[in-house]
Structure 1
Amino acid sequence: VFGIETDIGSGKGKREFQELADQLIPQDNAAEYNQAMMDFGARLCVPNKPDCMNCPIQGSCFAFKNNLVSELPVKINKTKVRDRHLHYFVIRCGESWVWKKRSSGDIWEGLFDFPVIEKEEEESLEEGLAIPLIAGEPKVFPKKYRHILSHQRLHAEFSEIEIPRENRSTLEIWAEQEGYLLVEEEKIEYLAKPKLIVNFLTDQGF
């Protein structure tokens, strides 16, 4: 509900959750409240498959509203978490989109996502941009995305680049050199994609 990112198994996390629980518990009816919380956790907000559709507090749940139900609460198990800042480029030419299949050994091995650069948090888009055929400035989508893995916190932004149809042959050559694929729009739904990319596409109406 509250979107706490602190590891629930850490000392800091235990204190943070305990302090919040102490604030919420009604002093005049603690026993009934505690029983209700246990029932809620056993029947609806279960760890592996929560029943969000029937949850009475769905409307105020941070995890549900931000597509983080499977990532919260955070339980790191002493694995050091690294923050990564990604900028994806949605490159389109007519009805074709540029995609990349993640290679062996990658965290998303075998899945498809967009061309991406990884940058320092303070680095500007222009400092890392190295994509040819661009006419004008890329359209930057305003929403920023966060995706929590067991050992990484991904902070992602997306920009759209429209390539003129007359440059398609040049785009195809560049894509082949870089290991990218051109996929027609009607076939995108059949690609296996990371949840981060699925969330972005859903927000765009796909």
Structure 2
Amino acid sequence: MIFGNNLIKVVCENKFHIEFNATDALKRVQLNPENLVQVSYATDWLKSRAEKHKDNEEVVLEMYRPFDWTYSTDYKGTLRKGDFIRDDSKAIPLDKLKRQDPILFFDDMILYEDELGDNGISILNVKIRAMRSCMLILQRLFVRVDNVLLRINDTRLFIDFEENLVIRECKKQESKYEDILRLCHGNDPRRLLRDMNWCAGKLPVLSVEREYIQY
């Protein structure tokens, strides 16, 4: 499901312009044939297809065009104006976000979502929170392939109105499904694997990149 009319656009006079939309996010879905994700029963399925096509002891499988059916994207927004400078030391000031300032605007929207053929979920959503002194946008890709893996790609865009500063932080997390399942407890342990915030606190961090614009 693509929510093509959902859009977040941030424009600062003639100095900075960035957008978050579904179309550009899907364009960034990458295909790496060596790292294609398969469902847990893929091997058994291929074996059954091979047995049906046996002819004179030669196995013939139908050809198919590989694609990333998890719709994993490395999209971090569409920059229309401005140039980011890479600086991994430029961390988002959490103290400003923790202040009890009134929230002037908040919204949460989905850009696209897929249930992966009843084998999990892939969802890209964006949240925006604006205060008087700053604003935070969180775009999160959450991928859960049941019994295979969990993946989160976060892009945080922090805008400091007092310092005229924009910081973009991109973080990638991933783990095997069974490794995170071991951390779950209770009568329905898999319930936690449907909680994006809980998973974000448990998945190992693969990489963090930061960049900024002083406008």
TM-score by length of 1: 0.26
Structure holding more strand per residue? 2
Structure holding more helix per residue? 1
By relative contact order (CA 8 Å, sep 6+), the higher-ranking structure is: 1
